[in-house]
């Protein structure tokens, strides 16, 4: 009451009281102390608390590191009791404890928990896959669409069996649906920054590196590829494009996972440029030694 940090100590006393009450309730239910094997089997409930600045603004007090440490230690203990109460089916006790802990949990908890998880890749309603590839300092956004296969259900007139032009004219008049334009073999297109790959990558080695996943999978003309590459040089951009194409192939053909992993095409190449060292002209190059 006489302290300049009354709100902080009131909240601290409330948390300590909640910890003591929850502990005694769990002991009465013979849930404490809990054996080590049972504690390891409890469902995980990660707790991400507000930082010291946010907690200090809520309590209208300067939150030093020692005060913040005391507060989070008690909250962590209460969170551990919540895990036990939830697993044991003590709904009322768990609800009261959860309501108190929610006051101190960060608003960015969900974003922090999902950070680092791989996003599920899928094909949209237009049949497109969207993937992201990296190499060195280059990045590539890749969209892949399967090439439309040629029609095989068309009934075509065998012109070699037609004896004369009059017979052909009669067939054309009576059965026009059996005459079609010549079917073209479908061709795939690979555009990089809206430029054909042959023009964008002038060096043959870069083009070979970019289309290698399609060659390994035997699907060189099976997909139309549209990509946007940024950063780095042609070597990094072609490697980033190959990485994105490999991911796209996996989305369209999950059966290729083993093949692409064994050829290390799904692996992001971790090699980066080595930094320049002090006293050297480059990363590893050294100046010539001069005797005098």
pLDDT digits (tens, 9 = 90+) for 132-185: 999 999 999 999 999 987 666 555 555 666 667 777 677 667 666 655 555 566
- Percentage, residues of the chain above pLDDT 70: 85
Residue position matching structure tokens 């029609």: 151
Strands laid side by side in the 138-146 sheet: 129-135, 138-146, 223-230, 190-192, 195-196
Q: How confident is the model at residue 211 (pLDDT cuts 50, 70, 90)?
A: very high
pLDDT tens-digit map of 10-65: 889 999 999 999 999 999 988 888 888 888 888 888 888 888 998 888 888 888 99
For residue 113, give every residue at least 6 positions away whose Cβ sits within 8 Å of its Cβ, in sequence order, or none: 46, 48
**Are 244 and 141 in contact, with CB atoms under 8 Å apart?**
yes
Domains parsed from the chain with CATH numbers = 6-114 (no CATH), 118-149+184-272 (3.30.230.10)
Which one, of 162, 237, 231, lies nearest residue 200 by Cα? 237
Least confident of 76-90, 102-116, 168-182: 168-182
pLDDT score of 272: 93
pLDDT at 38: 86
Instruction: Report the number of secondary-structure helices (H) and strands (E) in the chain.
Output: 11, 5
What is the mean pLDDT of the segment spanning 240-266?
94
Output the pLDDT for position 150.
65
Q: What is the pLDDT of residue 175?
A: 67
Q: For residues 26 and 18, is the Cβ–Cβ distance under 8 A? A: no
């Amino acid at each position: 009451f006489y302290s300049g940090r009354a709100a902080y100590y009131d909240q601290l006393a409330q948390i300590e009281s909640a910890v003591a009450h929850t502990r005694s309730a769990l002991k009465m239910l013979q849930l404490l102390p809990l054996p080590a094997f049972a504690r390891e089997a409890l469902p995980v409930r990660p707790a991400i608390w507000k930082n010291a600045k946010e907690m200090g603004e809520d309590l209208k007090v300067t939150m030093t590191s020692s005060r913040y440490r005391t507060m989070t230690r008690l909250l962590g203990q209460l969170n551990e009791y919540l895990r036990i109460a939830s697993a044991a089916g003590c709904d009322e006790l768990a609800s009261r404890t959860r309501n108190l802990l929610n006051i101190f949990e960060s608003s960015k908890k969900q974003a922090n928990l999902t950070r680092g998880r791989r996003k599920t890749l899928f094909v949209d309603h237009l049949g497109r896959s969207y993937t992201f590839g990296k190499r060195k300092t280059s990045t590539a956004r890749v969209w892949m669409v399967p090439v439309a296969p040629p029609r095989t259900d068309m009934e075509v007139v065998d012109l070699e069996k037609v004896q004369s032009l009059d017979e052909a004219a009669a067939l054309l008049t009576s059965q026009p649906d059996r005459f079609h334009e010549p079917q073209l073999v479908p061709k795939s297109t690979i555009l990089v920054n809206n430029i054909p790959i042959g023009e964008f990558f002038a060096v043959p080695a870069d083009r070979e590196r970019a289309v290698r996943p399609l060659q390994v999978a035997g699907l060189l003309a099976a997909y139309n590829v549209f990509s946007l590459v940024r950063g780095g040089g042609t070597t990094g951009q072609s490697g980033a494009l190959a990485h994105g194409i490999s991911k796209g192939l996996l989305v369209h053909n999950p059966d290729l996972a083993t093949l692409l992993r064994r050829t290390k095409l799904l692996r992001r190449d971790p090699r980066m440029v080595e930094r320049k060292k002090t006293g050297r002209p480059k990363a590893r190059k050294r100046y010539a030694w001069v005797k005098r």
